[in-house]
Chains A and B, each alone.
Chain A
Amino acid sequence: MTARVGIVLVSHSARVASSVADLARGLAGGGETAPVAAAGGTPDGGLGTSAELITQAATAVDGGAGVAVLVDLGSAVLTVKALLAEGDELPPGTRLVDAPFVEGAVAAVVTASAGGDLDAVATAAAEAYGYRKG
């Protein structure tokens, strides 16, 4: 079986990132899920974004099929963009996905677990913006 796309969830809060990872894995259910890593908060446990944790998480889930990064707010977006601009900080084939954090994470993990490629994962996550709640 070929490698699945890896998913990295970047939040200002470690608990938000790990809980959303749990939620997405749980809803992807059934067989084996795609690799998911949480990069939440700062290394000392505070609220914020850590370039180091993001790089570690991306490396951990990289199986060669690409890595989709989903982010919550502000500095999480900017830090991932800045790391991508560095060129060598994140595995080749890492992409920042423009998607709502929770819904996008579920869509991304389900699609990646089903064997979708990076384009399919990014598209599924972005489509979560289209579901109106009111």
Chain B
Amino acid sequence: MLDADFFRRWMTGAAAAVDREAGRLTDLDSAIGDADHGANLQRGFAAVVKALEGDPAGTPGAVLVLAGRELISTVGGASGPLYGTLLRRTGKALGDAAEVAPVQLAEALRVGVAAVAQLGGAKAGDKTMLDALEPAVEALAESLGASFAAAAEAADRGALATVPMRARKGRASYLGERSVGHQDPGATSSALLIGALAGAEAAR
């Protein structure tokens, strides 16, 4: 079973990964975006860690809802409301249980990812974070929530698969064919988030 501490570790691990990879995210975003993805997510996840330190959020759902709210409030770019919605909806789907089974997390993540797709009006193949998140959710569901590592690998592969895609959403879509050949920064940060989930699992 996964308790609130597991979800705190996930968020702390995500913050550390974003911190470590901020330069790479910004480099990817300078190719097809407005070069602020790394700094924006760094600010957002730093706020998440700070908020979690000062808040007794004692259930898996409460940890994710709080984290999502911080991201919406502090990021400043489109990734804020998108990741904020992902975490809030996933957290709400987990309800107020003190512990959740991995398979429940797999189902809740699917709800969260669907909410992201709805908010952004995007689908798989549009060269967005969904290209990493959807394969991750599928891999997790296939293993009945047992393999976070498989989800992280699927997210990494999904992020890599955005390289030849032409962007159909967001600022990169204005570049048309010129967006081809660059890995999507949002799919890349999504892979970091799922990688941090696998890291939280490994630390159990």
Contact = CB atoms under 8 A, between A and B. Distances in A.
Contacts of A52: 73
B164 interface: no
A82 B76 contact: no
Given A48-B36, A85-B85, A74 B72 contact: no
A75 B36 CA distance: 13
Interface size band for B: 20 to 34
A49 interface: yes
A48 B43 CA distance: 13
B82 interface: yes
Given A74-B171, A78-B120, A82-B85, A50 B72 contact: no
Given A48-B36, A74-B170, A74-B171, A81 B73 contact: no
A49 B82 contact: no
Interface residues of A, number: 16
Contact of B69 (A46, A78, A86): A86
B81 to A, nearest CB: 4
A81 to B, nearest CB: 6
A83 B72 contact: yes
Interface in A36-68: 42, 46, 48-52
A121 B179 CA distance: 38
A42 B76 contact: yes
A78 B78 contact: yes
Interface in B113-155: 119-120
A82 B84 contact: yes
A46 B119 CA distance: 24
B77 A48 contact: yes
Nearest to B78: A75
Contacts of A86: 69, 72, 88
Interface string B81-99: 1101100100000000000
Interface of A is mostly: helix
A124 B28 CA distance: 41
A78 B171 contact: no
Contacts of B77: 48-49, 74-75
Contacts of B120: 78
Contacts of B79: 75
B76 A81 contact: no
A49 B72 contact: no
Given A78-B120, A86-B69, A46 B76 contact: yes
Interface of B: 36, 40, 69, 72-74, 76-82, 84-85, 88, 119-120, 170-171
26 contacts: A42-B76, A46-B76, A48-B77, A49-B80, A50-B76, A51-B74, A52-B73, A74-B170, A75-B78, A75-B79, A78-B78, A78-B119, A78-B120, A79-B72, A79-B80, A79-B81, A81-B81, A82-B72, A82-B80, A82-B81, A82-B84, A82-B85, A85-B85, A85-B119, A86-B72, A86-B88
The 10 closest A-B pairs by CB, nearest first: A48-B76, A82-B81, A75-B78, A78-B81, A51-B73, A79-B81, A42-B76, A75-B77, A82-B72, A74-B78
